[in-house]
Amino acid sequence: MTFDISHPDVRAAVERALAEDLGSGDVTTDSCIAADAHAEARFVAKQEMTVAGVELLGLLFDDVKLLKKSGDRVTAGEELARVRGESRKLLTRERVTLNFLQRLSGVATLAARFVDEVKGTGVNILDTRKTTPGLRVLEKMAAAAGGVTNHRMGLYDAVLIKNNHITLAGGVRKAMEQARKSGKPIEVEVRTRAEVEEALECGASRILLDNMTPDEAAIEVGLIDHRAETEISGGITLANVRAYAEARPDFISSGAITHSAVAVDINCGIYPLTG
């Protein structure tokens, strides 16, 4: 997924953020800064990071010069972008802009670390639906900027039978028989050898090995032996993802990429323009 600022969810998120912060007006800026003053804002990385969301500046300001793009890896001191315009506009939109850039670059930075941890194994890292409500599209774009593969965007675009579905449907077989009505490939979350074997017998396209140890997962991946795609999930962290990757699944998914990403440090310096 590219960082697409034309996506309606992206535009709506930016509009909501501006309305939330600005309200009836910026009383501080409007009282301190002349209406005809102009300035330049410079966005600078204060730490090593993977950039995400810098393209949003095009939705927030008119005169934008991007020096980096989403997916770029930068070090402390590198400039990401410059923006020129009315001083009041730069000031009133500074915090919203930084909130987006710092949060999304934090997601991309953590995603890139997960990808780096499994380098050479052939395993693809997936994100999940564990995203901030209302920001899923943006956070998944950020995850993709960090190099992970986006899993399903929502409940509407893929079949994933999880343990609660299995319990309520009366077992793996019954759940899969009903799910075939969707006409989509079926992924099944399993917790036991019996469920693995039943999912294979019923023709699952992908088997999700949930909350197993790396050694347990390796045994099941070997049993499945490419008869279905394999995915590992449950408690995946930077500390253990390499061990799980050594089990040689096709995919490893981690909710931490979005729900536990820490915002990175980006500075916005605003300087007056004269003449």
Mean pLDDT of the chain: 96
Which of the following is catalytic: 11, 46, 65, 95?
95
* CB-based contact 259:107 (threshold 8 Å): no
* pLDDT at 12 > cutoff 90: yes
222-234: average pLDDT: 97
Is there a catalytic annotation at residue 189? Answer: yes
Confidence of residue 2 (pLDDT cuts 50, 70, 90): confident
Query: Domains in the chain, ordered, with CATH?
Result: 8-115+261-272 (3.90.1170.20), 118-259 (3.20.20.70)
Do the bridges between strand 229-233 and strand 206-210 make them parallel or antiparallel, or are there none, so unpaired?
A: parallel
Q: Is pLDDT above 80 for 195? A: yes
**The pLDDT value given to residue 275:** 60
Percent of the residues in the chain that have a pLDDT greater than 70, as a whole number = 99
- Which residue is catalytic, options 189, 198, 220, 231? 189
Residues near 145 by Cβ (< 8 Å), separated by ≥ 6? Answer: 3, 50, 51, 52, 70, 71, 104, 108, 111
Asked if the model's pLDDT at residue 150 lies above 60, the reply is yes
Q: Which one is catalytic: 162, 173, 191, 248?
A: 162
pLDDT-derived band at 26 (thresholds 50, 70, 90) equals very high
89 is catalytic: no
User: What is the pLDDT at residue 228?
Assistant: 98
Q: What is the structure's pLDDT at 274?
A: 80
Out of 68, 82, 130, 191, the active site residue is: 130
Nearest of 194, 42, 165, 48 to residue 108 by alpha carbon: 48
How many Cβ atoms from other residues are within 10 Å of residue 93's Cβ? 23
Work out the average pLDDT over 138-146.
Answer: 98
11 annotated active-site: no
Our answer to whether residue 210 is catalytic in this structure is yes
Tell me how far apart the 2 most distant CA atoms of the chain are, in Å.
76
Cβ(199)–Cβ(179) below 8 Å:
no
Annotation marks residue 95 as catalytic: yes
Tens of pLDDT, residue by residue over 30-89, are 999 999 999 999 999 999 999 999 999 999 999 999 999 999 999 999 999 999 999 999
Q: In this predicted model, which residue has the larger pLDDT, 1 or 214?
A: 214
- Give the model's pLDDT for residue 1: 52
Find the mean pLDDT for residues 155-181.
95
